[in-house]
């Protein structure tokens, strides 16, 4: 059965999580146009909604503040340099947004993960992205993520827990 897009006004307001069973609202922060387009298609296939794509840090932070996404998928190296860490810190300061790094540069992630919950290593698979977003959705809905920090969920490496 084909999916029907909601009419204007039927989607959750910025910052509100969708009702159970609906997809997450996701901001893609990626400077490689083809990767960003492929990721948007994958997110749609998985039942999620892209709220936008940003390729530079200022654009990503502004778009994140304007749309208050449920999740931000953030590459570390953007058009304006290795600024994804700054983007993650800014977006994760809003408790409505969960940040996940998607990068081939995982060694650049600081020990505190800049507020991100984990990292998906590039190149990524559809299964890894689906697993990571499922984990994030469960955590956001109050279900415990029974995976110890620092371990992987099907290719998704969780950030170490503080203290």
Residues 6 or more apart whose Cβ sits within 8 Å of residue 43: 23, 26, 28, 49, 50, 129
pLDDT for 138: 92
Q: Mean pLDDT throughout 113-127?
A: 96
- Report all structural domains of the chain as residue ranges with CATH numbers, in order of start: 25-158 (3.40.50.2300)
Per-residue pLDDT reduced to its tens digit, 128-153: 999 999 999 999 998 865 654 555 67
- Spatial separation of the C-alpha atoms in residues 52 and 153, rounded to whole Å: 26
pTM above 0.75, yes or no: yes
Compute CA distances 87 → 1, 6, 38, 135, 150, whole Å.
Answer: 38, 30, 21, 22, 22
- Among 58, 56, 63, smallest CA distance to 26 is for 63
Percent of the chain with pLDDT over 70: 80
Question: Which pLDDT band holds residue 21 (cuts at 50, 70, 90)?
Answer: low
159: phi > 0 → left, psi -120 to 50 → alpha, else beta; which? Answer: beta
Residue-wise DSSP of 145-156: --S-TT-EETTE
Q: What is the mean pLDDT of the chain?
A: 85
């Amino acid at each position: 059965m084909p999916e029907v897009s909601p009419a204007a006004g039927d989607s959750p307001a910025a910052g509100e999580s969708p009702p159970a069973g609906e997809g997450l609202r996701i901001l893609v922060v990626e400077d490689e146009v083809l990767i960003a387009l492929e990721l948007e298609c994958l997110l749609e296939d998985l039942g999620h909604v892209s709220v936008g794509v940003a390729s530079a840090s200022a654009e990503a932070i502004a778009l994140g503040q304007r749309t208050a996404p449920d999740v931000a998928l953030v590459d570390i190296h953007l058009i304006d340099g290795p600024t994804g860490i700054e983007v993650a810190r800014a977006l994760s300061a809003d408790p409505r947004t969960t940040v996940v790094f998607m990068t081939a540069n995982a060694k650049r992630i600081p020990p505190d993960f800049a507020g991100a919950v984990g990292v998906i290593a590039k190149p990524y698979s559809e299964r890894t992205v689906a697993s990571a977003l499922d984990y994030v959705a469960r955590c956001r809905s109050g279900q415990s993520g029974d995976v110890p920090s620092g371990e992987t969920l099907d290719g998704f490496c969780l950030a170490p827990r503080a203290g």
